[in-house]
Copies of this chain bind each other. A is one copy, B any other.
């Protein structure tokens, strides 16, 4: 193994119980600082270059390795393998191997993976709804950078 086990050295609690500290900072839904535990991991998984694509494609129907490879296009077989392994390990994707002569492996979303897909939809929707604002903000920012003192 080479990656996917412990990625960046994010000082993480991981196994510790997710309750608050001595100062009583968060009470209800304050993930503010403890996000570098579980949330960060999931976010890293979701955010990496290919996971999102894979999840989206598998949401529609189960696919074989090569099918995914073809559909995603820019991906190397290496990264596709790594990505699928990570998703499988997290219980988001199920891998089925058929003991046939030309090896056949199917991948499909688990129920857990489906719920994640739905959740991510919220972010997608937000992005679609605000991409114009973002683009405008960027344009304004870049323009301000180009002409600081006229």
Q: Which residues of A line the B interface, CB within 8 A? A: 8, 10-11, 18, 29, 31-33, 35-36, 38-40, 42-44, 46-47, 49, 52-53, 56-57, 59-60, 71, 74, 88-92, 112, 115-116, 119-128, 130-131, 133-134, 136-138, 140-142
- Distance in Å: Cβ of A71 to nearest Cβ of chain B: 8
Contact status B49-A46, CB under 8 Å:
no
User: Majority SS of interface residues in chain A?
Assistant: helix
Contact status B130-A89, CB under 8 Å:
no
Q: Which residue of B lies closest to A74 (CB)?
A: B11
Q: A120 to B18, alpha carbons, bound, how many Å?
A: 18
Contact status A32-B60, CB under 8 Å:
yes
Q: Which residue of B lies closest to A122 (CB)?
A: B122
- List the B side residues contacting A127 at CB < 8 Å: 38-39, 42
Contact status B124-A112, CB under 8 Å:
no
Contact status A38-B131, CB under 8 Å:
yes
Q: 20 A-B pairs, CB-CB below 8 angstroms?
A: A29-B124, A32-B56, A33-B56, A35-B53, A38-B128, A39-B123, A40-B52, A42-B123, A47-B47, A89-B138, A89-B142, A90-B134, A90-B138, A91-B133, A91-B137, A91-B140, A112-B137, A119-B122, A119-B123, A123-B123
The 8 Å CB contact of A47, one of B33, B43, B138, is B43
